[in-house]
């Protein structure tokens, strides 16, 4: 008895149907690897907004104290929030690469872990050398180092993923960081709070809405 055999894996004969299938597969892959941009930007934005805001209120320009609080509190809050932000960045990077395989997966995992490792190393170094710094420079150097590292990692991410917005954000963070250092203690905290922290929050909201709009129209 003869049996008919039908190959269901044959490519569609209609070019339009083939193009539609490719677009559907591309959209499915993008849904698997998509991570809301707010997870990239908001942890750092809120960490800087809150942490540097407290620093400005306690250690204002010309040693002014706008809100009385223990001297250790603003620094402790900033360091804790930066640690949380670095962990979230590492988790976000590994999550984004978890849905893909091969070189892209390794690239994402390495980039994600570089956040955590780099900030852990910088924290240890800064703790070690802080005692040798003048009191009025400790906070400035801490802030400039951690924010500078964040800007560099964002630019590196833009280079790795060929993402112009991510690279531009890294440049913006670096420019704001240098501006704050030149402005000096007190003013640096205000500049970082508003321009860096607020800027990251706004940037995250805009890019998240833009990407969701593109995914919705895909």
Identify the band that residue 92 occupies on the pLDDT scale cut at 50, 70 and 90: confident
Instruction: With a cut of 80, say whether residue 4 has pLDDT above it.
Output: no
Q: Rounded distance, CA 201 to CA 49, Å?
A: 9
Count the Cβ atoms, other than its own, within 10 Å of residue 36.
14
Could you tell me the residue ranges of all domains in the chain?
A: 35-212
Top pLDDT among 3 and 128 is at 128
Q: Where are the alpha helices (DSSP H) in 59-198?
A: 72-98, 103-129, 135-161, 164-183, 187-191
Question: What's the CA gap between 213 and 202, in Å, rounded?
Answer: 17
**Quick one: which of 41, 77, 7, 32 has its CA closest to 202?**
41
Kindly report the pTM of this predicted structure. Answer: 0.74
- Indicate whether 129 pLDDT > 90: yes
Higher pLDDT, 166 or 9: 166
């Amino acid at each position: 008895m003869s049996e008919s055999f039908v190959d269901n894996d044959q490519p569609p004969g209609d070019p339009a149907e083939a193009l539609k299938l490719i677009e559907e597969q591309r959209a499915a892959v993008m849904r698997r690897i998509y991570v809301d941009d707010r997870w990239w930007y908001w942890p750092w934005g809120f960490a800087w907004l809150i942490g540097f805001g407290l620093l400005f209120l306690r250690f204002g320009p010309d040693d002014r104290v706008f809100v009385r609080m223990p001297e250790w509190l603003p620094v402790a809050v900033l360091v804790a929030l930066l640690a949380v932000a670095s962990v979230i960045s590492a988790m976000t990077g590994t999550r984004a690469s978890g849905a893909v395989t091969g070189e892209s997966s390794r690239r994402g995992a390495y980039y994600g872990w570089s956040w955590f490792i780099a900030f852990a190393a910088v924290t240890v170094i800064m703790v070690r050398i802080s005692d040798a710094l003048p009191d009025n420079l400790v906070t400035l150097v801490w802030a400039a180092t951690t924010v500078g590292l964040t800007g560099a990692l964002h630019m590196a991410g833009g280079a790795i993923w060929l993402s112009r917005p991510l690279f531009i954000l890294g440049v913006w963070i670096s420019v704001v960081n240098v501006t704050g250092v030149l402005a000096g203690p007190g003013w640096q905290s205000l500049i970082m709070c508003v321009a860096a922290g607020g800027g990251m929050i706004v940037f995250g909201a805009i890019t998240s809405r833009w990407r969701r709009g593109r995914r919705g129209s895909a």
